């Protein structure tokens, strides 16, 4: 990345290659759009190929170009292929947004099914680990880059009924800090975003437990509304860019004041 001292401080991502996981929907799609608007060559990776196709078409209708790669971030072969695709198509990888994530259910720890625990940890935490393992290796070949991990305010505080989700997101924050230390001297910055309650497609058809959780979340958010995905994307763009040249290992909430209570 061009950093202060070696280039201008700008959020222009022209000439940069950016990979967004979970890019077919919600925060990932909004961020892929913002990266493309900033001039990056964008790859969207997602488990859902149909949604990925629709996302690429939607961006094209806005005059933006992106390449879709189907990948399950919990599967190392898929993640390896996803990163290789970035190198094959664009010759480099400069920005990685590890964003794919899932949540499920609303039970106390004593009732969480091991299968659900394992899948949530596999996607949210192992997926972020695998993204960094292969993504940072690719960035190092090109002289550096920026990794942004999408955690949650629930990586920093607990939430009843969300044991696996909160544990996975807390793990993402520690992975972020550790990788930031490991690669700071090699030109790779690693940061985490902690969104608060964000208006993504999950709100269109919530389960009763999700509807209750989201309504409670809005009520407890000082700004009194959900975040828009584009508001999370703004921070991702900033962290991706040379404007954030001196920021690494940081954990940054975008939460309408939720954590200030
Ligand atoms: N929406 C919120 O309120 C909120 C708040 C804090 C953090 N987050 C985090 O933001 C991230 C994005 O969430 P969103 O709200 O935009 O959700 P979303 O459901 O709109 O998008 C998530 C995308 O990830 C994809 N995905 C799921 N599992 C995958 C896998 N194994 N491999 C690849 N892709 C996979 C889905 O197909 C989907 O397209 C998640 O990590 C989530 O935990 C969301």
pLDDT at 220 over 80: yes
Domains of the chain, earliest start first? 17-253 (3.40.50.720)
- pLDDT score recorded for residue 255: 98
Residue with tokens 């996981």: 21
- pLDDT score recorded for residue 2: 44
- pLDDT score recorded for residue 8: 79
Which pair of structure tokens corresponds to residue 143?
């002289």
Q: Residue 197: which of 261, 154, 149, 156 has the closest Cα?
A: 154
- pLDDT score recorded for residue 55: 98
- pLDDT score recorded for residue 145: 98
Residue 214: CB atoms within 10 A of its CB come to: 17
pLDDT at 1 over 80: no
Nearest CA to ligand 1 atom 2: 198
Across residues 202-210, what is the average pLDDT?
78
- pLDDT score recorded for residue 3: 53
CB 174 within 8 A of CB 119: no
Q: Could you give the residue ranges of the DSSP H alpha helices within the chain?
A: 26-37, 49-61, 76-90, 114-120, 127-141, 163-183, 208-219, 229-240
Atom of ligand 1 nearest to the CA of 124: 41
Please give the model's pTM, rounded to 2 decimal places. 0.97
pLDDT at 206 over 90: no
Please give the distance, rounded to the nearest whole angstrom, from the Cα atom of residue 7 to the centre of ligand 1: 34
Atom of ligand 1 nearest to the CA of 227: 3
- How confident is residue 6, by pLDDT bands cut at 50, 70 and 90? low
The pLDDT tens digits of the residues spanning 52-68 come to 999 999 999 999 999 99
Please give the distance, rounded to the nearest whole angstrom, from the Cα atom of residue 213 to the centre of ligand 1: 16
- How confident is residue 210, by pLDDT bands cut at 50, 70 and 90? confident
Residues with a known catalytic role? 165
Q: Which of 3-17, 96-110, 228-242 has the lowest mean pLDDT?
A: 3-17
Q: Residue 96: which of 29, 25, 147 has the closest Cα?
A: 147
The pLDDT tens digits of the residues spanning 29-52 come to 999 999 999 999 999 999 999 999
What percentage of the chain has pLDDT greater than the value 70? 97
What percentage of the chain has pLDDT greater than the value 90? 89
Please give the distance, rounded to the nearest whole angstrom, from the Cα atom of residue 239 to the centre of ligand 1: 19
Across residues 219-226, what is the average pLDDT?
97
- pLDDT score recorded for residue 52: 98
- pLDDT score recorded for residue 205: 78
Q: Give the span between the Cα atoms of 156 and 75, in whole angstroms.
A: 26
pLDDT at 4 over 50: no
């Amino acid at each position: 990345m061009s950093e202060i001292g070696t280039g201008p401080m700008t959020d222009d991502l022209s000439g940069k290659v950016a990979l967004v996981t979970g890019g077919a929907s919600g925060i990932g799609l909004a961020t892929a759009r913002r990266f493309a608007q900033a001039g990056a060559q964008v790859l969207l990776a997602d488990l859902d190929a149909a949604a990925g196709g629709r996302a690429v078409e939607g961006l094209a209708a806005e005059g933006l170009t992106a390449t879709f790669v189907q990948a399950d971030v919990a599967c190392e072969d898929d993640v390896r292929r996803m990163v290789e695709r970035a190198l094959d198509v664009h010759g480099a990888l400069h920005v990685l947004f590890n964003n794919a994530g899932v949540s499920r259910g609303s039970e106390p720890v004593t009732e969480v099914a091991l299968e659900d625990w394992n899948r949530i940890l596999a996607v949210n935490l192992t997926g972020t680990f695998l993204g960094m393992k292969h993504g940072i290796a690719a960035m190092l070949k090109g002289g550096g880059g920026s990794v942004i991990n999408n955690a949650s305010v629930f990586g920093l505080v607990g939430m009843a009924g969300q044991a696996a989700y909160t544990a996975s997101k807390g793990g993402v924050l520690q992975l972020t800090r550790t990788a930031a230390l490991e690669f700071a001297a090699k030109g790779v910055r690693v940061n985490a975003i902690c969104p608060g309650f964000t208006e993504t497609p999950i709100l269109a058809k919530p389960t009763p437990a999700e509807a209750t959780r989201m309504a409670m979340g809005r009520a407890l958010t000082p700004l009194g509304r959900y975040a828009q995905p584009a508001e999370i994307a703004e921070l991702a763009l900033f962290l991706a860019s040379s404007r954030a040249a001196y920021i690494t290992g940081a954990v940054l909430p975008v939460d309408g004041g939720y954590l200030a209570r």
